[in-house]
Amino acid sequence: MNPIDPALATSLCGIRLRNPVIAAAGAFGYGVEFEKQVDLGALGGLVVKGLSREPIAGNPAPRLLETEAGMINSVGLQNIGARAFAREKLPALARLGAAVFANVFGYATEDYVEVVRILEDHEGLAGYELNVSCPNTQHGGIYFSSDPALTSEVVSAVKRVARRPVMVKLSPNVSAIEPLALAAESSGADAISLVNTFIALAIDPHTRRPRIGAGFGGLSGPAIKPIALRLVCQAARAVKIPVVGLGGIATGEDAAEFLIAGATAVEVGTALFWDPRAALRIAAELGGFLRREKVASVSQLVGTIQL
């Protein structure tokens, strides 16, 4: 296990993290698949891939496409379901020493609630991350993430059954991020994370068809970083609860920028597809940045942007 750098130690919603760099949902599967490649206990934390009430097969292939400065994905939230995760994956995860967050999604408020109910009966999780970038089938397909009232509804319902901290992952595909951030906060969210991917399209000009099997997909990676930074900054200035920033982080200085913008911690996703150890490298680079800048603690960077 990598030695702990005390300058990087932080906390999120009362959860102690050895560093502020967390592996994002989907980047490490359920976590246990990578335990031979990566010292998961040395990560700041780990968010497992999205969990639903029942298993989901996902979207047709191809599901991933490398772009000039990132990646488009349309996996379709494929997963084994919350019960199978709790039975087959969580016991092994609990032994790895990482702060593990379960990413939760659904297509109705009761779906989110039921997944959390299932997971509440099991040990090994530090908290939950609610993916609200899903259409609410009971409200004509309106996305939870685009309507403050729907965001508030699902967060309030989950908070009534969750003993662990609840973080809400916000979508960037909205006209203004502040109303959604405030809706999550006022409904009891312990933190928010942003941004999720941007809706994107890639076309094969020879076949004139999309390059992704499902048509549209989610753009992530370095291409989205400047926009993600702006949204994190705006959200952090609007709420008092912690903000976790993500979107194109590939280096320690990238992570520092998100912290300066107002994030308490960061998540790394796309970079892990190229290098499964990227989160550990980014944390080490962030430690080097602190030393060069003569900053004693990572918390001293948070929200120090001069606007």
- Kindly tell me the burial class for residue 122, based on how many C-beta atoms sit within 10 Å of its own C-beta (0-12, 13-18, 19 or more): middle
Residue whose structure tokens are 């990482």: 98
Rounded CA-CA distance 265/193 in Å is: 9
For residue 57, count other CB atoms closer than 10 A to its CB.
9
Q: Letter for the amino acid at 201?
A: L
From the list 93, 134, 166, 268, the catalytic residue is 134
| Contact assessment for residue 169 and residue 132, using Cβ atoms and an 8 Å cutoff | yes
Is 134 considered catalytic here? Answer: yes
Are 241 and 185 in contact, with CB atoms under 8 Å apart? yes
| Pairing assessment for the beta strands 135-136 and 243-246 based on DSSP bridges | unpaired
Cβ neighbours of residue 208 closer than 8 Å, sequence gap 6 or more:
none
Q: Which residues are catalytic?
A: 134
